Chain A
């Protein structure tokens, strides 16, 4: 049983606070959703967790050990796999080689966790076997998203961070994706944090949902509660104009108000 814990993290870019006193946790076997309007700070939070960015304040801990600021490579080898909102594949390499890159790292550094994971298995699991020899950059969009997930899974991660995996997918594709995300959790037992704008997708697949707005965490709970939460309805699901007026309230205070 592993636990990923983000504690009171802040991060700013110049004058813009992308994260303000944000806390979040995820345990093995959980699928946790992260939603919020554009610019809320969701991607920045994933970047901080995967140590692609250092924090300004606060900590990120994996099983009690601090991992923030240790660099993306260390995080990957510690067992945090991730995808990127703006797909970042190795475009000239083949589909299979993209997975091989991560799998090779795991072979040397995560041998124990790798039990049963194979490149062929990952290709089949993400339905990429037929495309395995194609260059990654030649793939259609949906397959590129799936390949990013397969590559992250090749690390045999304890936690998987997905940044808008269903973006640009059609109904049928995102339906399949829901199944895949669940299957990953069921088979590997890893914890998953997933960002998406497709609320149906998030509500279906997640057991807990965190809602961000303007760098702060404004709500946290099971899907049913989140759907009814007036603050969430206001800033996210509701109209834009009201979201703006509400934003005057400091997010930190809002977060503190949530049990």
Chain B
């Protein structure tokens, strides 16, 4: 469905006064992956690791600095705006903040139907029908269409955000932390709804979260991202039963859980470094609990290698271990 090759996204930093470029925020570095049709691919990492930037770059909401994006085997990296516009409705995003992402002045009906009016030549009746169908699909009622966003709870707003994304029958959804702002009970409801709708609408999903326990519940396969790099990829059960990268291990060990099997908890030192000036060699080395002598780089560059079928890990680390 989607294949990306060596995607990079740098944000130039301008010197305030002369507007000279003084460096780059290296948000995404050489990332390649595929999402087969019907898969939920999880993308996990701390805030600032580049998850949202990667998500936006692969559907060209922001232009990648480098790399190629293929959608159904067609290279869409260089498509013109008008060609891209035709594809737009196939790609939709569900956002984290159900408060900020809905226009407070618009009624729910207008929020949901907006896309239909832009992308489809539909008569009023068909639009009504579609909107009424979708509002029920997300677990709300027709009566809700006449209300404004502030009349809804966080969970209900997230349902509205999902309805807005699905009304155009998209093929590929980027769900960017869709449950991070919600209570656990509402979180479970929304995750379940996403799974149901994925089946009903045959969706392919990139599911972004900083919470491994959420990813564990919903994803078929997981990519772990740190400071712009993918450091490990595996199907969900392999990643959790046999994590290879120290960053992945620490994320699993520190995820709070009621009944913890493994009492070991390796704390990471300090904070994630600035992506303007990332560490040489392995980008994780400044926080790694157990760095090797080669990790400073020189002999080796970051990049994934396959350690068991379908299980990839950063090669610096595969060699260190």
A binds B: no
Chain B positions within 8 Å of A, measured between CB atoms, are none
Chain A positions within 8 Å of B, measured between CB atoms, are none
